[in-house]
Amino acid sequence: MSVHHGLRRWIPVGNLMVAAAMAPASAEASARLAAGPDEQKLKAAWIYVSPVGDMGFAFGHDQARKTLAAKLPWLTTVYAEAVPESNVDRFLARYVVEQNVDVVFTCSFGFMDGTVAAAKKFPNKMFFHCAGFKRGPNSGNYWGDLYQAYYLNGLMAGALTRSGKVGYVAAHPIPEVVRHINAYALGVRAVNPNAEVRVRWLYAWYDPAKAREATEALIAEGCDALAFTEDTATVVQVAEEYTRKGKPVYCFSHYSPMEQFGPDSVVSGELMDWTPLYEDILTRIHTGAMTTNNLQDVDYFWLMREGVAQIGTQFGEPINPKFVDALKTSMVGNVSAYDLVFQRIDEMKALKFDPFTGPIRDNTGALRLKEGQRATLKDLTTIDWFVEGVVGKVPR
């Protein structure tokens, strides 16, 4: 599921991912190339739904922005943080009109309709929406997904839990979050078949108070291993508080390195490095391969194989050393949970394994994926049901 080799969209056909080539570059692209890479400047804007100072989704995107602003001499960047989804139209117009940017990256699922509207209003600018599914001649989509990392963290959670109950603090009931909960649960039950996953919804991307309340509620229910999708380190901080009081709670950080907030609780986590994906897009724009006339089929969906998704307490440390011995002594058949994690990483990068491969049943017992059947990209991006082991229903 890569767009490394040429500008293309990946389309699910059966169990395969087939590449559809993009339209050839326009006169606009030729003009960019004629100007020369050293002469052609590019100004890009990022719009975030959360504060960039809080560890999580917005922080990860902004780290990539900073990295590329320092690396690419032809790139100038600006950004806006904590932008309400209902107010994105005003910020888009501001950056296009007042800042005269060439391309805007909108980093929230709820920014989708505003992004599409702005693309129609400003046809000579480029827009890229993170996590969306609507496109146009000058607006594309991109996404780096963590479901494989959640599965790996689930393997570790299943191996470490003593209660057989693991928790998940979830932001919104959208396919992305449901997909991650399911991947986590599949990992948990691959190691601990009788374990259950309990979910608490925040209905917010950023709400530290609600995140604390949800975390404490899950711990009160007996959950001793926690994952989450929300834009703070609150879950990790609460887990660390309980651990230091003598009630160990394992946790897995989200999007950004969070070991500093829970050195005795963070086992691993899902880490996202947006840098290679943004660099690919920006370089294609800079060289003229991407223009305001050929983005209608641009739909990035990058995973561990492409290097955007990783696991770790921090980059370069996939598992907290404090938990390595426990994972090495937890056996899954003839292999330790520790070795199984790295075996699965290699297999996923080689496209030999994917968590969403059947047989998979939902938590009502209905068969969703047959034996050997692998979920398509459409399946993954529209999922609205829980796998076996997850308690409750997806809110409608």
Over residues 225-260, the pLDDT tens digits come to: 999 999 899 999 999 999 999 999 999 999 889 999
Torsion angle, alpha carbons of 181, 186, 192, 193, to 10: 110
**99: Cβ contacts below 8 Å, ≥ 6 apart:** 43, 45, 78
- Provide the β-strand partners of residue 252: 268
CA gap 340, 74 in Å, rounded? 44
Overall average pLDDT of the 63-73 stretch: 98
Q: Hey, which residues does 199 pair with through a beta bridge?
A: 168
Q: Are 372 and 358 in contact (CB under 8 A)?
A: yes
pLDDT for 174 equals 93
Domain locations along the chain? 8-144+274-306, 147-271+320-382
First to last CA, the chain: 29
Position 176 confidence tier, pLDDT thresholds 50, 70, 90: very high
Find out if CATH 2.40.10.10 is the number for domain 147-271+320-382: no
Q: Do domains 8-144+274-306 and 147-271+320-382 have the same CATH topology?
A: yes
pLDDT of residue 13: 26
| Distance (Å, whole) CA 99 – CA 80 | 12
Tell me how far apart the alpha carbons of residues 312 and 315 are, in angstroms, rounded to a whole number: 6
Tell me if 255 sits within 8 A of 309, measured CB to CB. no
> Which value, to the nearest 10 degrees, does the dihedral of the CA atoms of residues 364, 369, 372, 374 take?
-130
Task: Tell me the pTM.
Answer: 0.86
Note the pLDDT of residue 18: 30
State which fold the 8-144+274-306 domain adopts.
Rossmann fold (3.40.50)
Give the pLDDT confidence of 74-86 residue by residue, as tens digits: 999 999 999 999 9
In 3-state terms, the chain is what percent helix, strand and coil (to 5)?
A: 40, 25, 40
**pLDDT confidence bin for 39, thresholds 50/70/90:** low
The model's confidence at residue 38, banded by pLDDT at 50, 70 and 90, is low
